[in-house]
Structure 1
Amino acid sequence: MPSRLRGTLADPAVLAGRAAARGAPHVAALERFAAELRTRHGEVPDADPFDGGVDARLLLLLETPGPGASPLRFVSRDNPTGTGANIRRFTGDAGIARADTLVWNAVPWVIHAPGARNRAPRRGEVAAGLAELPAFLALLPRLAVAVLAGRVAGGARPVVEAAKPGLRVIEMPHASPTIVCTSPAIPARIRAALAEAAAALATAP
């Protein structure tokens, strides 16, 4: 296995450990939520049980699961992608504890046809995803900060603010390498947003 994939969910041992953690109390409600979405929308990866689950204080909202097929998928910073690696790096640099976080998608189901390349969600897909978001947020009673990564997730701000009045909402660029490599200003903006999030967590009840 290439060294860049070791420690990611492409490693069978890592994936087995994640699978063994499914059903843990802190993610059980989130897994039930994902299972219900699957009955209506198809493939929905589970929340990563190595994150904070329903005890999370920070939600990192991304866009949609990428293309690819697997019998077991998670919304995770440990996915073997450039986005996952960037999330690990940027949140680590900000000093944000993994147990405080939960990663999810504005459109939580896979929108790509088998074998298709990655694409942006269509307007109707985004609207359908955001319609499911309030019920998801209701499962997170300790949430103090929502970080919305990218244009699609940024469009969730009115939904998040209506569902969680008073919640600190911070927007930042998406952590995809395609975006991050566009300009030195992009990683600087991501670091600034996550530093703001870390400071908010430090002062939250």
Structure 2
Amino acid sequence: MPPLMRRAPVRPFQLRMHRQSPQETEQYMTALAPESFHEQLLSRRYEPNVAAVNELCDSLQETRPGTVVPYVDPMHDVEECRIISLFSNIGEADPSGFITAGDQDAATRMLGIQWKLGLRPEFVMPWNVHPWHVPGEANGKFTPDQIQSGLKPLLKFLALVPRASVIVAHGTEANRLANLLLKTEVPLLWRRGLKTYKVRSLSGRAFAGSPARQAEYLEDMRVAYADAMARTGLQKA
């Protein structure tokens, strides 16, 4: 795994009972997150609520020696998950060792969307288009073959979250993988009535623009997640 850093990953709703703003929540969590916090999270990655998906991450890593596959944070839950956030994981793997929405700005934006909607972490789970990272190297723009290589892992992941029926695909690569998924006509997809929403990435060039334009991007995402919640029977916390 990549070396651990002292800054905590942004973890939605860890402090949701206090209803701080996303910025206040992030600052508070960062201040309280020594290195032992990361160690505790990693030590919990095989707890029953996430063991299956993180064992999948291990098996994917074993297929490509020299790579790392970030884990799913133990705040999520394979049995309760209704919505999948599919990220176009351009750039380096997060030092936390977990799947994130992107850089710190992206994580803060994702937190803000979930906070406003009352979307609790057990009902949503992240996954990456191309699960593998090479330590110390940034993933560039994915080739069609790299996107295609993420299809089987995504199908295996879907099989482990039996109540998930919505994918929110963030970014071009995620949108392309979602299209490939829908073309497979796997029975699992129509049995669940799988719905996909295509939105922008939360950082990088895809999110560039004026503050007003960025607010539009975030509103599009908020609408997608709100509709996904309604579709899956989730109510605001």
- In structure 2, relative to structure 1, the CA distance for the partners of 1:125 and 1:60 (3 Å cut) is same
State the secondary structure of the residue aligned to 1:171: strand
Secondary structure of 1:61's counterpart equals: strand
Aligned to 2:226: 195
1:74 to 73, 98, 101: 98
AA aligned to 2:29 is: G
Instruction: From the superposition, tell whether residues 63 and 103 of structure 1 become closer, same or farther in structure 2 (CA, over 3 Å).
Output: same
1:31 equivalent in alignment to 2:72: no
| Equivalent position to 2:71, from 46, 57, 60 | 46
2:45 aligned residue (8, 11, 22): 22
Match of 2:206 among 157, 161, 179: 179
TM-score in terms of structure 1 length: 0.83
CA distance in 1, matches of 2:233, 2:70: 30
* TM-score using structure 2 length: 0.72
Which one-letter code corresponds to 2:97 in the other structure?
R
- Consecutive unaligned residues of structure 2, counting only runs of 5 or more, are 1-5, 8-23
- Following the alignment from structure 2 to structure 1, what is the Cα–Cα distance between the partners of residues 159 and 178? 15
2:88–2:129: 8 Å Cα contact kept in structure 1?
yes
- Tell me if 1:83 matches 2:110: no
Name 1:132's counterpart in structure 2.
153
Indicate if the aligned counterparts of 1:35 and 1:44 stay in contact, CA closer than 8 A: yes
Cα RMSD (Å): 2.9
Q: CA deviation at 1:101?
A: 0.8
1:168 paired residue number: 195
* Distance in 1 between residues matched to 2:74 and 2:90, nearest whole Å: 17
CA distance, structure 2, for counterparts of residue 30 and residue 61 of structure 1: 14
Residue 56 in structure 1 maps to residue 81 in structure 2: yes
Q: 1:152 aligns with which of 173, 177, 180?
A: 173
The alignment covers a number of residue pairs equal to 200
Which structure 1 residue ranges, 5 or more long, are not aligned?
Answer: none
Which SS does the other structure have where 2:110 is aligned? helix
How far off its partner does 1:46 sit? 0.8
State the structure with more CA Rg. Answer: 2
Q: 1:40 deviation in Å?
A: 1.6
Distance 1:203 1:35, change over 3 A: closer
Residues 6, 160 of structure 1: alpha-carbon distance in 2 compared, 3 angstrom cutoff: farther
1:76/1:113 CA distance change after superposition, 3 Å? closer
